[in-house]
Structure 1
Amino acid sequence: MNLSFGVCNLSLVPLRTEASDKSEMCSQLLFGDHFTLLEVGEKWSRIQTEYDEYEGWIDNKQYVKVNQATFDGLRNSKSILSLQVFHKVSKTDNLTVLKLLAGSTIPQNVDGLFYLGDTRYKLEGATINPINSEFRSGVKDAAQFYLGSPYLWGGRSIFGIDCSGFSQMVFKQFGIKLKRDAWQQAEQGELVGFLQESRAGDLAFFDNEEGRITHVGIMLDNQKIIHASGTVRIDPIDNQGIFNTELNRYTHKLRIVKRFS
């Protein structure tokens, strides 16, 4: 079977559950996010992302097709953009400037120059190569980069992010791959037996009345959690769950805590 591939060549685009502008946004693609094309229509393509194997529909005007070699190069690239609001990238043929976001994937480059498809780009600044061993010392600062970001279902950026997108993007800064949805992330990692044993960077998961995992947050220590709920915020947590001091009530019921590094 001959596979076809694509890559997002814009700062941030929606991934939708159906082939329609009116359809729900289930996730977002950042610049450099690459994928396998499962189905290509006149306006929409159904894709599976390489990073987290997530499926959805993307507008055909919001990506470019690439060959197997380019796809493999992106898959093997360790270079991403660090935690700052904007990174400037210019198209060298027409000087169009893109403002790229933290966590965007950048192909291997020489002196900041790289290609996506047939287009050459110039990066201002430098990329980082995520280092897993820096996770414990750096995860608090990385998580708090998103502090105050508005909640957005399917969001993966500082301008709008959901709970599992938040944990995924923070962990990406340290080369730790998480799946897209909270229930999928809950199937990863190693179980932490007691909340009191949790430490910075552990993920706490929360369920609803039916027992389904519906929320995730990043532990800052064994008494505080940072999570996306209305906004990315810091709240106290105990064995019962997250307590919102503004509402003076528990908002999320604790299910399990997982460790990833």
Structure 2
Amino acid sequence: MPPAPPSAERFRLVGPSVVLDPRIHAVRRDIADIGLADRVFAPHYSAPEVSACALPAAMLRAAPDDDAVAVSQLVQGEAFAVVDISVGWAWGYGLHDCYVGYLRAEMLGPLVAPTHVVTAPVALVFATPDIKAPVIATRTIGARLHGIAEGAFVATAGGYIHARHLAPVETPVADPVAVAETLVGAPYLWGGRGDGGVDCSGLVQRALGLAGIAAPRDSDQQRSLGREIGEGEALRRGDIILFPGHVGMMVDDTRLIHANAHWMAVTIEPLDTVTGRGAAIVARRRIA
């Protein structure tokens, strides 16, 4: 189960407000997460209510408007802490990374304890436990579902998914780069984390997340991952390479996999080719 949002027991008003990163702290002029009451003053505080994405996927937006820029994406079953609901829009943050944004309240539903997570780029949902049965829906990589094994399938509330497209939630994928490699060719989508496309930091976050490694949402935040690779150390599979506003993962000692706007897709190419286009490396991080 995801961690519960901060409780009201932390409520303490002392000292001046501090400046917090609004991407990962739910604070506005009119309201704030009660868990931040020891750091910021707000006219109102709210104890978040935890729900989950009820659709195959939902874009998290910077403002309560369907035309507002997407800042991230939730997929089915991922937990979302609702701090405020107004005019049909929920404002809060995903519990997997605390990233703040808006989505339509109708996109949320009750949080159900998941048993399985989708590890394929797209998992087909069949009407019956038979690969020849009609496909009635799809689920996106990272979707968290409750199901019961039935032979080669897992029975979920929405239909049957082949077990090869799933993994038990308590069993991390062994190789995060292998996860990223399954998404080669996926469209580059700003804010995407797998459904319909993915952006650079979304690719890294999704790959590491399925390997049981929590990662922040944005590339500059991902500079906190692991340890800095020394100047004389050779790169290896799984190393994180950061550029200004961009990030990718090493497939081996010379090639980078990344979701990029140059090709508008997830691609594998020599790291030297990427830097040759003018992308300066700002950090090299090793997870383990």
TM-superposed deviation, 1:87: 3.0
Partner Cα separation in structure 2 for residue 170 and residue 147 of structure 1: 12
Q: Which structure has the larger Rg? A: 2
Instruction: Tell me the C-alpha RMSD between the 2 structures.
Output: 2.6
Paired residues of 1:87 and 1:101 also in contact (CA < 8 A):
no
Greater CA drift, 15-24 or 98-107 = 98-107
Q: For 1:123 and 1:54, locate their aligned partners in 2 and report how far apart those are by CA, in whole Å.
A: 31
Q: Out of 54, 62, 75, which is 1:17 matched to?
A: 62
Matching of residue 107 in structure 1 with residue 146 in structure 2:
yes
- The amino acid of 1:105's aligned partner reads R
Measure how far apart 1:162 and its partner are: 0.5
Task: Give CA deviations for 1:48-76 in whole Å, capped at 9, x if unaligned.
Answer: 1111111100111211144xxx4xx35xx
Task: Say whether residues 1:236 and 2:276 are aligned partners.
Answer: no
Establish whether residue 42 from structure 1 lines up as the match of residue 87 from structure 2.
Answer: yes
Matches of residues 1-261 of structure 1 in structure 2 within 5 Å? 1=8, 2-66=47-111, 70=112, 73-74=113-114, 79-88=116-125, 97-107=136-146, 109=148, 111=150, 112-113=154-155, 120-126=157-163, 127-129=166-168, 131=171, 134-135=174-175, 139-157=176-194, 159-194=196-231, 196-207=233-244, 214-229=245-260, 230-238=264-272, 242-243=274-275, 249-261=276-288
Amino acid at match of 2:52: V
Amino acid at match of 2:266: V
The amino acid of 2:69's aligned partner reads E
1:192-226 deviation per Cα after TM superposition (whole angstroms, max 9, x unaligned): 1137522111110012xxxxxx1100101221101
- Alignment match, 2:32: none
Normalising by structure 2, report the TM-score. Answer: 0.71
Gaps of 5+ in 2: 1-7, 9-46, 128-133
What CA distance in whole angstroms lies between the structure 2 residues aligned with 1:61 and 1:224?
42
CA shift at 1:35, angstroms? Answer: 1.2
The one-letter code matched in structure 1 to 2:267 is R
CA distance in 1, matches of 2:173, 2:141: 20
In 1, the alpha carbon distance for the partners of 2:59 and 2:232 equals 36
Letter in 1 for 2:76: F
Q: What are the Cα deviations for residues 211-247 of structure 1, in whole angstroms up to 9, with x where unaligned? A: xxx1100101221101111211122124xx824xxxx
Q: With structure 1 as the length reference, what TM-score do the two structures score?
A: 0.78
Deviation at 1:14, TM superposition (A): 0.9
Secondary structure at 2:237's aligned position in 1? coil
CA displacement 1:3-59 (0-9 Å, x = unmatched): 412111111111101111111011111011111111011210002111111110011
CA 1:133 to 1:156, structure 2 compared with 1: closer, same or farther past 3 Å?
closer
Q: Match for residue 246 of structure 1?
A: none
What amino acid sits opposite 2:226 in the alignment?
A: G
Q: Which has the higher contact order (CA 8 A, sep 6+)?
A: 1
